[in-house]
A = this chain, B = another copy of it.
């Protein structure tokens, strides 16, 4: 079985996006009141949006299950108010619950969290519990910078985040460390903010000692870990200069990387330096890059090909990456 641990519902019906636009417009006008969502989306519309896209690509590429979460840029934790973020996040998670209800063999849910800049992460706990306990989700996406590329909240190692981590440990669910959109004109969202945030999060974990306090907490750093495998020597060396333990002991029982790296040489670099047990198959589809690579004739994000072709893995290693590691990290995955 091939499990893709990083997919987003980026093909939502138009009225879903319209609902969000209207919500933000009401906030701007000062007339927003939380209401039972008036959104009308039929099962058929959801089914079609998946069958024509994510499910079609699963079949074409030969993957079986995608761990799917709401559109990352779409969460926009920095937009509106804490109240709108809460309502929008619940609605987004409900939509994921409908997707997995319609495709129980092929999609399993991960939730967004109702974060808002400057608001304590512990406010996300009720929604996390609802998604795990009531909706059957198996993890969450955690935004290390809900300000949208202004980085005004504390680092991931700060006690600010601890109540949420305690709940994650209790529920035995991992978090993918995934930012949302950027409202800072310096940072393109998928080309700069995502990759910079992945790199920054890893370095925060090197500097801190979070997993001494939470030995069973698990994070997935997406997009191949940002720059981390490419600069593996720098990170090993920085940890060494700081007197930290080897990365194997300091972080690699708790931190994992996905394979959303869209060319062979990148995957080859990653599989050469990162222990195989720390690599989880993912494609991010339909995500940041949607075209066909003219150099290969295949979709850039058809990452299964790169894993199959990388010289640093044997068949057992490929099985680990395609399935076993995902099951180890997302322990609630039962498909």
Contacts and interface: CB of A to CB of B under 8 A. Distances in A.
Interface of A: 144-145, 149-151, 154-155, 184-188, 190-192, 195-197, 199-200, 203-204, 206-207, 223-224, 226-227, 229-238, 240-241, 261-263, 265-266, 268-270, 272-273, 288-291, 293, 300-301
A205 to B, nearest CB: 10
B240 A231 contact: no
A262 B289 contact: no
Contact of A151 (B149, B188, B232): B149
Copies assembled: 2
A57 to B, nearest CB: 15
Given A190-B234, A240-B291, A265-B273, 14 more contacts: A150-B151, A188-B203, A191-B206, A191-B235, A192-B199, A195-B226, A223-B231, A226-B227, A227-B230, A231-B261, A232-B266, A233-B263, A237-B288, A266-B269
Contacts of A265: 229, 232, 268-269, 272-273
B232 A263 contact: yes
Nearest to A193: B200
B186 A151 contact: yes
A200 B189 CA distance: 10
A273 B269 CA distance: 12
A186 B261 CA distance: 24
B231 A262 contact: yes
Nearest to A237: B289
A144 B205 CA distance: 25
Contact of A291 (B151, B237, B270): B237
Contacts of A227: 195-196, 199, 226-227, 230
A234 B300 contact: yes
Leading 5 A-B pairs by shortest Cβ distance: A233-B263, A233-B262, A227-B227, A230-B230, A237-B289
Contact of A229 (B151, B192, B206, B230): B230
B229 A186 contact: no
A46 to B, nearest CB: 25
Contacts of A191: 203, 206-207, 234-235, 238
A151 B233 contact: no
B203 A241 contact: no
A183 to B, nearest CB: 11
A227 B199 CA distance: 9
Contact of A187 (B190, B200, B232, B290): B200
Given A151-B184, A237-B291, A238-B190, A200 B196 contact: yes
20 contacts: A150-B150, A150-B151, A151-B184, A187-B203, A188-B207, A191-B207, A192-B199, A196-B200, A196-B227, A199-B226, A226-B227, A229-B265, A233-B263, A234-B261, A236-B263, A237-B262, A237-B288, A241-B291, A265-B269, A266-B273
Given A241-B290, A291-B240, A291-B241, A204 B231 contact: no
B200 A289 contact: no
A150 B227 CA distance: 20
Given A200-B196, A300-B237, A269 B230 contact: yes
